[in-house]
Structure 1
């Protein structure tokens, strides 16, 4: 929601205008005094926007050396997300995907030489698909009404890997239905992903070349957004198996034998991501226990890992901005956090990055 300052009419006497202005300022200060201070400065410092020039951008991930990012963005001249890379030190975005179709979930290989992503560019009716989306967006622009956000499980979406040196694009999946939301394991040998090839979105794991496919979940509802833990033993993911549309965070062993819920609330919890060196998982969540549309913020959980389980621990709220904050990821060295946010001047979603401080590393209060 955009807040528009109230303007004074030139027909209002100056004294009344000044009085009204002072009243508004006093009210503003009173409200500010009543509102608790933001918590963000405890955990985030040197916050800065890293993408611009796109209609919207998000879901960014770091290269292994932390110098590049890969992300999805809607360019001004095309209706669907495409995949781009960009140096963190500055520079122009470079198109990685084909430039057509719906794309999502890009991820660097362990050596930084390849990029994994999902794309529907092989849709045999691509021109029709594009024209229909362009027409819908034009109608929204004219009417001023926007569609409620929903993700398209495009049945022509497959997973590809692109060699950055040669430009060669290799298709890794080939099944009827949506194959996407993939990410490499920390050793680069496995890929966890989501597929609805059996009629319901479930988790799968395969070798980095697409071989030795194995289905891990088969619960009713959506299972997706998987990431393999740094030690290679667990996969964190989101699922609405408990209640449709209300996502919770789960972990499952890479062999699919053991599974544990990490959240259980009246809300939506999604985009979980592991810290590379510490026992933490971060995600985006919103409380849906009250009427109305809640805001999405970032949440951090310290978990306990045993020989055969992951146990949930204390949860810390990281952001409390009026903007939506989603899709958080840590840098390879664990010192930075990157996420997608609408805290922009035009309220479009873009990528932001900040230095990160853990709860246990907070300065000690003076007695």
Structure 2
């Protein structure tokens, strides 16, 4: 037993030493294609998946609190990862945050700003629910989960249809239903969907091609899909700009030997690629605000927070 306790102490010291050695910049690096880099959130939780309100004044995002614990089981050291999810709302540019819902993730706004819709993860299988703009009331969109992990809901601007993803078998699938949970259908394989705000028949999403994740678009009326990115690196988590002309996404193409990703922007047809962030940090989940401002998560200072920068487009 004494030997096991000593081993546990050594493991803890190694973990602390590793954290102390890791050097991550205090801010994400930006290229000449970005202006006015600003840190939007600074909470101790991991802050991810920012979504800007239709009027451009507020953010919704995931706050993820992660803790670790070590235990001895039959002479073996086991590490347990504990995760607590909540949805947070804040006014852009202001420091005060407003937690809306616990055990919830992947929030987005109703198009008319009348409420929010998200994945409620407290049930045995996560389901899609909606609440008012302040997170009051949980209204189940459907009677039960459609798959193993209902997530990433988005709503068409006519409030007629909800698109979301769920796990079926061993694949994440894109699905749709009406706002009352009826007329359920499976559209195809994919994840991290974004809706073209100008033409709601077009979506963008992730799908794995061989060993790498690539960005695709799809016309959900015809089922026609187009692969926009290629290469032996991961391209993912794309989002349409508010005018539907540009797409922001995350990619490790700067250095495919590393896992850390940066933010890139291209035209909706996949041309005129420009890089927005660079360096040793990891960026993900871009979302467009007003005036070509991009919000994204970055692990600068070892913690994922929301940052923003204004995209400079060439003339």
Instruction: Sort the TM-score into its range (normalised by shorter chain).
Output: 0.7 to 0.9
Are 1:226 and 2:175 an aligned pair? Answer: no
Query: Greater relative contact order (Cα 8 A, min sep 6): structure 1 or 2?
Result: 2
Report the Cα distance in structure 2 between the residues aligned to 1:266 and 1:115, rounded to whole angstroms.
Answer: 37
2:140 maps to 1:171: yes
The whole-number CA distance in structure 1 between the counterparts of 2:42 and 2:254 is: 31
Whether 2:286 is the aligned partner of 1:358: answer: no
Q: Pick from 113, 116, 129 the counterpart of residue 160 of structure 1.
A: 129
Residues 53-83 of structure 1: CA deviation (Å, up to 9, x unaligned): 2321111111111111000012489832211
CA RMSD of aligned residues (A): 2.5
Answering whether residue 290 of structure 2 is matched by residue 321 of structure 1, we say no
**Matched positions, count:** 275
When residues 243 and 71 of structure 1 are mapped into structure 2, their CA distance, relative to the original with a 3 A threshold, is same
Q: Displacement of 1:278 after TM fit?
A: 4.7
CA 302–190 in structure 1, closer or farther in 2 if over 3 Å, else same: same
The answer on whether the counterparts of 1:183 and 1:193 sit within 8 Å (CA) in structure 2 is yes
Shift in CA distance, 256/214, structure 1 to aligned 2, threshold 3 Å? farther
Structure number with higher strand proportion: 2
Tell me whether 1:44 sits opposite 2:30 in the alignment: no
Spell out, residue by residue over 1:129-187, the C-alpha distance to the aligned partner (whole angstroms, 9 max, x if none). Answer: xxxxxxxxxxxxxxxxxxxxxxxxxxx11111111368121112423411101122244
Distance 1:46 1:234, change over 3 A: same
Shift of 1:217: 0.8
Question: Following TM superposition, by how much is the alpha carbon of 1:303 offset from its aligned partner in structure 2, in angstroms?
Answer: 2.9
- List structure 1 runs of 4+ shifted beyond 3 angstroms: 75-78, 287-290
- Alignment of 1:260 onto 2:226: yes
Are 2:196 and 1:239 aligned? no
Partner of residue 13, structure 2: none
Tell me how far apart the structure 1 counterparts of residues 161 and 275 of structure 2 sit (CA, whole Å): 32
Residues 1:53 and 1:96: Cα distance change in structure 2 (over 3 Å): same
**What displacement does 1:338 show?**
0.4
Deviations 1:108-140 (A, max 9, x none): 1112221111121123xxxxxxxxxxxxxxxxx
Deviation by residue 1:294-345 (Cα, 9 ceiling, x = unmatched): 42111111134xxxxxxx32322221132111111111x34211000012xx
For the structure 1 residues 322 and 111, does the alpha-carbon distance in structure 2 shift closer, same or farther, using more than 3 Å as the test? same
Farther-moved stretch of structure 1 (249-258 vs 86-95): 86-95
Unmatched segments (≥5 aa) in structure 2: 1-20, 68-81
Summarize deviations over 1:12-33 as a string: whole Å, max 9, x none. xxxxxxxxxxxxxxxxxxxxxx
Per-residue CA distance 1:258-317 (angstroms, 9 max, x = gap):
111111211111110001115211100113985x4242111111134xxxxxxx323222
Would you say the 8 A contact 1:115–1:161 is kept in 2? yes
Q: Check if 1:3 corresponds to 2:7.
A: no
Query: Alpha carbons of 1:278 and 1:122: their partners in 2 closer, same or farther (altered >3 Å)?
Result: closer
Q: Normalized against structure 2, the TM-score is what?
A: 0.79
- Contact conserved, 2:153 with 2:164, CA < 8 A, in 1? yes
